[in-house]
Structure 1
Amino acid sequence: MTQSAPFDAFPLPAGSADCHVHVYGPYDRFPAVHGGKFSPLQATPVEALLALWDRMGIARGVIVHALAAGGDNEVTLDALRRHRDRLRGVAILKPEVSERRLDELSEAGFKGVRINLLRQDGKPVSSGGMNLDDLVALAPRLHARGWHVQLWVETGDLKELAPTLEKMPFDFVIDHMGRTMADKGVDTPGFRDFCEKLKTGRYWCKLSGADRNTRQGAGPGAAYDDTAPFMQALVAANPDRLVWGSDWPHVGHAAEAIPQEEDLLRHFFRCVPDAAVRKKILVDNPKALYGF
C-alpha cells in the first residue's frame, strides 16, 4: 500500500498563498546576523521555500524580510527578482532610505514595511527593526507608493496605539493573530477590541503564529487547540480581511520543537471548515492585499 504524502489530507485551492515566510542565505552571498532569540538555525534559501510550497500545493506567497536575514533587504529582493510570478515582499527600512531604493523595492514587488512593536508582559520580545518613529518619518513616501504597514504587536498594545496609528493613511496588517497568548482567552479586552477593528475593513490579520501563541507547546504533532478560539473569532469577525501564513522556517524554536507545516494546515482546516471561506483566505484575499 502506497503511503500518502503528508499534505494530501489538506487539498489547497489553486492559487493558494502562504503570506508569512522568511528566507535566509545562502550565507556566502547573504550573511545572516546571528544573535538573539530569532536567529536562524541554518540557511533556508528561497529554493528550499519553493520546494516546500510545491509539495504543499502553495502557488505563491510573501517573504517578510527578517532582521537576522541581513542588511538592506538584499536576500528578499534577490528572491523577488528571480521569482516575480510567485513572490511579494515586506521590507525593513531606515528613514534615510533613498527614493531610488524605494522605487527598486516597489518595482520588485515589495508591498509594505514591518514595524516591531511587540511586547509581552510589558517587555520587548525582540530588539531592532523599524519602530513607530521610523514609520512616521517614512509615511508620506510609503503611502505614495501604495504600501501598507505590517505590525508585529500584541492586541492589548494595539488598542493603546491605534489612535496614533490611524492618523496615518495606511491599511494595517497584524501579525500572528495579534500575538495574544492563548491563556489570556479570547475575551481579553485587547483581542476583543481587535476583532471589532477587523470589521472596519482597515485592518487585516494573518492567521499564523499558532505555534507562538500556544501554551501547550509546539513541535511535531502539536495540535494548537488552545489557539483555535482565536482563529475562529477572527474568521467570524471578518473573513474578507484574513490571510494565512506558515511562518516558515520557524525561527526562535528549539530544533526539537520546530512546527510542522502539516500540523499547521490541520489546525487551519479544523478552525476554518468551510471550503469557500478557506479559498477566500488562501486565494482571494492575498490577491487583493498583495496584488498577485
Structure 2
Amino acid sequence: MPLPPALAAKLAKRGILQQSDTNTSTAAKTATKSADARESEAKLAEETAAIKEKEEKLLEIKLKGYDGCPNKWNPYHSCTPFCNEKWGEGKSVPDPEYERRRQKMLMIYPLPDGWQDIYDPGTGRHYYWCLESDKVSWFPPGHPKSCPVVAAAKVRENISNQNDSQEKDTDVEMGCDNEVRDMEPSRKPQNFVKDLRDKQQEDRNKNKGKGRVKFNDLDPMDPASYSDIPRGTWSTGLTSGDEAKSGVDATASGPLFQMRPYPNPGAVLRANANVKE
C-alpha cells in the first residue's frame, strides 16, 4: 500500500525513505488514480449508453407498439407493458385456412414491383407495404378493397410531435401571462371577488340571451306592456269598501247587459248610505 504524499515527503526529508521510493510511490498512486478515473469514465459511458438505448426502445415501442399487440394498427392506441403481458408474442404462425385464401388472392391480384407483404403477429394477418410511398394496406394494391394509407406508426409520430409543439406553445403563453400578471398592480381581494361575480352573472345573462334585468321592467304578461292601459298598482282591481259585492263586472263597457247580474237594491242603498256618511 503506497504511503501518503505528505508522510513520504517527511520520511524522505529525514533520510528514512529514499527519494526514488517516494517517486515510485507517487507514480504508483498516480497510476492507480488514473486507472480508477478511466474505469469510472468507462462505467459512466456504459450506463449512459444503456439509458439511451432504453429510451430509444421505449420510443420505438410507443410509436410502433409491441409485436404481439393486435391494437397497434390503431393510430390512437399507445402500447403499454399491459399489452406485452396480455398478448405476449401474438400469433407466430398464421392460420392455415387464412394462408390458403391469401395465396389464392395473390394469384388473382399479384404484388407489383416495389410492394412487399409483411406478417403481423398481433392480428395474425399480412399487410402490404409500398417501399416508395411508405404506405400500407390490408389488401394487395390491385384488389378492389385496397386502400393504401399512412402507417399507424407514422401517424402516432406526427400526433406526438404536434402535442409536443402545443405543450411548448402553452408553456410560452403561460410564461407571458405570468409576466403580465406580475406587472399588474395589486388589487383588493374584495374587489376581485365582486368583479368575478359580476362577470359570471353577465356570462349567465348572455347565455340566456338577455341582458341585466332592470327594476322597472314590465312583466310581459302585464296588459300595460302591450296596450294603452296605464300601469296598475298592487291594489288595482281589488274591491273597495264603498262598493257593493254584487258580482257585477264594473270594468265592462258597452251595453248594459254586459254588467249583469244587476246589483241587489238593498246592497245599493247600503253602499250609498256609507258614501254619505
TM-score bin, normalised by smaller chain: under 0.3
* Higher helix fraction (1 or 2): 2
Larger RCO of the pair (alpha carbons < 8 Å, separation 6+): 1
Give the TM-score of the pair, scaled to structure 1: 0.16
Give the TM-score of the pair, scaled to structure 2: 0.17
Larger Rg: 2
